[in-house]
Structure 1
């Protein structure tokens, strides 16, 4: 932070000669290297502090500190009209429109602490402790003077009110920003309107987006008229054109279409097709219902779900579903509408090249530098593998209860007997691949106990045991700040591979009936590699079908030569 002094009489006269005016020059402070050329046709009101090389041109500034090399140009009003916490502590009714899962946002919030606040409402002492941390942070950030960081650029904006900025922030053409924090590297573009918000490091909000009571996480992008209210967006999410209301958008939540609505739900690694929609029409008690679309879910064009509902990780949803299904037990599935009913195809998505592409593209598209949100990208992990083990048990149970059935009813869905049998085979192969990969991922280490159930906490795979231990320590006052909580999540993340191996060893022990020998572990690793290769042959074949010559329809429009048509097709598709 710069050291400031009062302006001299000569500096004031020189500034006034350049068209600068002030409500009271005595309230204007500058650095020792101040030059009156930094001011041009501007109006200064209240307390204004001008850092080294900061410039104010053709703008009105009220109650603001401008740090070094910041430019304010063509701004109708950059002002702090009242004491503000700059968006910190704003209550956001995420996931449930009636506010039963309200999160108080802060500039230090991670996806994991937000997840805990949203999901763990059965622990009121935990929620009270997290809310107090948010209130304390908001109080510590409260002030009656707005601030910019160094090297900020605020140009062509209309009203920027009660907004605090980190270093290298850019505001270009925004319509109205009010009561918010822009962390380092954030970018706000033309016609944006945002109220009661926080934009984390390198977030970008552009082209007419409108936000109210929202948190926009690190390297997120909201663009092209996207509107959101009471929503949380975490790392690398990218939403354009459509609408969000009361959502928890975990990392890599994507929506690009004008006709798409995300409402009253939890998402992560998610993709919304055009016209996809979730509704909350059961209004007997108000808009109290919600849906959870677990990691990697996709909605096809026109997909519809009536809340409440939940789908297992990496589920592809096609058609309309209004019976409130619960398929959390069945990852990598298709959920399709057939004859007005929700039909579940367990494990069917394991054969899709699209699933492989998704798993590979997410780490490649990670734009973060701070990495406050913990994200695990591992394809083979205890969370989905554990779900597949439970899914196989459930499928066997359904079959054993009625061996001759043509179809089975499960949690408001229908599973055909042929789909059940295929699902068992697909899951078993994927379980073998997952166990082998996790056993091969780290050396045995008894210090890291990964046994038991695992969770996916907004992008981080973690044992339920450790999540509850963190919650216990928050309630007991042993973790007193968001930084301390985040550090606990990061420590687990650092040793994730050891925890995952421990889980895999437990499963292998259960399957063998005894602790595996080194030779048996090596055999499981080799079996896993073989299973993985077999699965890849299946997904590669799916890729080849998607690139088959018969799909060259509409290519080579002006050609009658099959070779030219194929050349156009292969060039455009990037095929060898």
Structure 2
């Protein structure tokens, strides 16, 4: 804010003539070029600082710094009534309603740091250190005076209390915002109610949404009466109409339906169908159970899961599942329910065009400008490929135990023999495609060791070894700030392709029984391309079936002419 000075007696008289009063004019500071017309029919209480060009119209303002170019119009109260950290340091009881995984939120929180806080509870020193880092940061944000950034627009709001605004924030008709931070570019719409919250850069919270103890990440959108409590939403999430309670919503978590509930779970790149639901209360030990739905899972309409449970990445869930399944090592699967039992179709989602469409649409819909959360979009990666390798080994083991069996039991699910055999074939082809892509996608450099297990840390593919090393350095004090922690994750991300190639080289060597030659690497890359092309032919055929004229039923409703019906269908579906 530009240099401020005390308001003069002449300016006070002019302001009062405009209908503005103050509790104590000596507590009012203004910019050098202040014009009394900047305040009109308003009430100023406590310490108020008015930046260059800022306007206050028909509003009550108490203990606030108003940034240059900001407009406050028809606001019942913009006030800071006490010392506050503006939502920084508030703990959200994510994943466990009883608080066992509570994450302290702040306006510099990344998905990766939040993941460590939520998931690594087996390392109490790490949790203690991270909470202290965030607590110390929260104290640097503490003040008895609220503030707005530059060029904010606050119109028609009722109560904005103990809330800090960044630059370019817009608030239009909000009901109440209390103890929160709105980072640069945030948009808040009519009837929004939010308590103890953080909204990251360019987040949009609109149309009657209600939040309590929540973090809303960069470029997220919460809309149409969505309600959430004790939840974290990271980059590009989009939730409307429904409800969330104690969830860790990794990037691109989507829920659009009024009847959908997300509760006590971890999600990312997730899509909730209408009426999808989870239960985390077994009426014994309370609401302490959790579920993990790994990257890319989808719930069909009416899907239900009783926690605890976990599904592999990119799993489609249909029906009701109450036996606490564990299918984590079976990515790209269908989990179906029949007569009260859960049936697993390993790898079946590899043939779906919907999976291809999802993988393509996520990077295209990335609205971030800051990029605090690290996100990997790579289809072929060590994390998911590693689980496919484990899945193939497991399926072979199940089959070898009883080759004549018609079905097999795994992780509280049933795997039919035909699905098992098909799963092996699908995974084998996908593994060849993935290894080829990773060998082709990065350089070989011994400085970047990607061997060993990989994990998905809230959207980032990274080795478990590096994640543990980051945790070690936090505990020892080698990493002392949130920026230093985030930078370690980003450094790995910068060299992701080289790490991934290192992993693929090690896996390929283990399959061959020796270090691959340059010629064998070239052959693996070519085999991967061929396998990928074959898989795309399968998914393209699935797309063609979805676009076939057999699905033109109800199109051309007023026509009996087949040509017109086809023309209507193709026009609406955007088909050439």
Fold match (TM-score > 0.5): yes
Q: Residue 72 of structure 2 corresponds to which residue in structure 1?
A: 72
Q: CA deviation at 1:340?
A: 1.1
User: What pairs up with 1:340-359 in 2 under 5 angstroms?
Assistant: 340-359=340-359
Q: CA deviation at 1:281?
A: 2.6
Q: Residue 511 of structure 2 corresponds to which residue in structure 1?
A: 511
> Could you say what the CA RMSD is over the residues aligned between the two structures, in angstroms?
0.4
User: What pairs up with 1:117-266 in 2 under 5 angstroms?
Assistant: 117-266=117-266
Structure 1 residues 376-402: Cα deviation after superposition (integer angstroms, max 9, x where no partner): 000000000000000000000000111
Give the whole-Å Cα distance in 1 for the aligned partners of 2:151 and 2:575. Answer: 44
SS at structure 1 position matched to 2:179: strand
Q: Residue 312 of structure 2 corresponds to which residue in structure 1?
A: 312
Give the whole-Å Cα distance in 2 for the aligned partners of 1:87 and 1:133. Answer: 15
Q: Residue 328 of structure 1 corresponds to which residue in structure 2?
A: 328
Q: Does 2:350 align with 1:386? A: no
Q: CA deviation at 1:286?
A: 1.2
Q: Residue 436 of structure 1 corresponds to which residue in structure 2?
A: 436
User: What pairs up with 1:473-492 in 2 under 5 angstroms?
Assistant: 473-492=473-492
Structure 1 residues 403-442: Cα deviation after superposition (integer angstroms, max 9, x where no partner): 1100000010000000000000000000000000000001
Q: Do the aligned residues in 2 keep the contact of 1:392 with 1:427 (CA within 8 Å)?
A: yes
Q: Do the aligned residues in 1 keep the contact of 2:51 with 2:67 (CA within 8 Å)?
A: yes
Q: Do the aligned residues in 2 keep the contact of 1:2 with 1:67 (CA within 8 Å)?
A: no
User: What pairs up with 1:35-74 in 2 under 5 angstroms?
Assistant: 35-74=35-74
Q: CA deviation at 1:22?
A: 0.2
Structure 1 residues 142-196: Cα deviation after superposition (integer angstroms, max 9, x where no partner): 0000000000000000000000010000010000000000000000000000000
Structure 1 residues 247-302: Cα deviation after superposition (integer angstroms, max 9, x where no partner): 00000000000000000000000000000000113131111100000000000000
Give the whole-Å Cα distance in 2 for the aligned partners of 1:425 and 1:310. Answer: 24
Q: Residue 569 of structure 2 corresponds to which residue in structure 1?
A: 569
TM-score (norm 1): 1.00
Structure 1 residues 230-258: Cα deviation after superposition (integer angstroms, max 9, x where no partner): 00000000000000000000000000000
Q: Residue 84 of structure 2 corresponds to which residue in structure 1?
A: 84
SS at structure 1 position matched to 2:235: coil
Q: Do the aligned residues in 2 keep the contact of 1:56 with 1:72 (CA within 8 Å)?
A: yes
Q: Residue 415 of structure 1 corresponds to which residue in structure 2?
A: 415
Q: Do the aligned residues in 2 keep the contact of 1:4 with 1:30 (CA within 8 Å)?
A: yes
Q: CA deviation at 1:503?
A: 0.3
Q: Residue 22 of structure 1 corresponds to which residue in structure 2?
A: 22
SS at structure 2 position matched to 1:222: strand
Give the whole-Å Cα distance in 2 for the aligned partners of 1:130 and 1:570. Answer: 55
Q: Residue 100 of structure 2 corresponds to which residue in structure 1?
A: 100
Q: Residue 551 of structure 2 corresponds to which residue in structure 1?
A: 551
Q: Residue 456 of structure 1 corresponds to which residue in structure 2?
A: 456
SS at structure 1 position matched to 2:11: helix
- Gaps in structure 1 of 5+ consecutive residues: none
User: What pairs up with 1:398-413 in 2 under 5 angstroms?
Assistant: 398-413=398-413
Q: CA deviation at 1:3?
A: 1.7
Give the whole-Å Cα distance in 1 for the aligned partners of 2:385 and 2:442. Answer: 17
Q: Residue 34 of structure 2 corresponds to which residue in structure 1?
A: 34
TM-score (norm 2): 1.00
Q: Residue 527 of structure 2 corresponds to which residue in structure 1?
A: 527
Q: CA deviation at 1:473?
A: 0.2
Q: CA deviation at 1:338?
A: 1.1
The ranges of structure 1 where at least 4 consecutive aligned residues each deviate by more than 6 angstroms after the TM superposition are none
Give the whole-Å Cα distance in 2 for the aligned partners of 1:316 and 1:32. Answer: 62
Q: Residue 465 of structure 1 corresponds to which residue in structure 2?
A: 465
Give the whole-Å Cα distance in 1 for the aligned partners of 2:57 and 2:447. Answer: 61
SS at structure 2 position matched to 1:376: coil
Give the whole-Å Cα distance in 1 for the aligned partners of 2:340 and 2:62. Answer: 61
SS at structure 1 position matched to 2:115: helix
Q: CA deviation at 1:81?
A: 0.4
Structure 1 residues 73-126: Cα deviation after superposition (integer angstroms, max 9, x where no partner): 000000000100000000100011110000000000000000010000000000
SS at structure 2 position matched to 1:440: helix
Give the whole-Å Cα distance in 2 for the aligned partners of 1:55 and 1:403. Answer: 79
SS at structure 2 position matched to 1:228: strand
